[in-house]
């Protein structure tokens, strides 16, 4: 998509890194997904941690189970994490394409919503093989406060 005017373009890398599934019973979900994908847990303790990872079990994507206090009717229970080496630039690019900011998550990460209202996260790289499989994209240079 072409960007108009004399806006400066900034290049950065991005890729879908993680499929995150919200669950209220992390032990049950970890047992199910581990057996369903025939993959052992790679990080986290389902009895006490907020997150449990099955590593790169979902077709090369990291599958992360996230403990939530209760099921929610106002948000999606499965979301994508987009890894990028420049979260500010990626948020600027995605909002220029129609996404909206939901809230900052700390450590430079953001939650956004696509035009249909589905939430997703923009995060710094967390997976071990970064930057393999990334795309170099150009977007507007983000304005910094």
The answer to whether residue 1 scores a pLDDT higher than 50 is no
Summary mean pLDDT of the chain: 84
> What is the SS3 assignment for 11?
strand
Residue with tokens 């890194």, as numbered in its chain? 17
What is the model's pTM?
0.73
pLDDT tens digit sequence for 7-26? 567 899 999 889 999 998 99
What residues does each domain of the chain span? 10-131
Q: List the CATH code of the domain at 10-131.
A: 3.10.180.10
> What is the SS3 assignment for 134?
coil
Residues 122-129 have a mean pLDDT of: 89
């Amino acid at each position: 998509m072409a960007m108009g005017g004399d806006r400066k373009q900034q290049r950065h890398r991005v890729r879908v890194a993680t499929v995150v599934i919200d669950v209220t019973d992390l032990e049950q979900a970890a047992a199910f997904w581990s057996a369903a994908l025939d993959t052992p847990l790679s990080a986290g303790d389902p009895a006490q941690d907020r997150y449990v990872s099955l590593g790169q079990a979902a077709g090369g994507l990291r599958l992360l189970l996230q403990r939530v206090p209760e099921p929610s009717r106002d948000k999606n229970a499965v979301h994508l994490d987009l890894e990028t080496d420049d979260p500010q630039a990626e948020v600027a690019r995605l909002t220029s394409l129609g996404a909206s900011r939901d809230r900052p998550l700390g450590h430079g990460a953001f939650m956004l919503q696509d035009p249909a209202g589905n939430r997703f996260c923009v995060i710094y790289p967390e997976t071990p093989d970064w930057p393999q499989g990334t795309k170099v994209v150009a977007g507007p240079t983000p304005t910094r406060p």
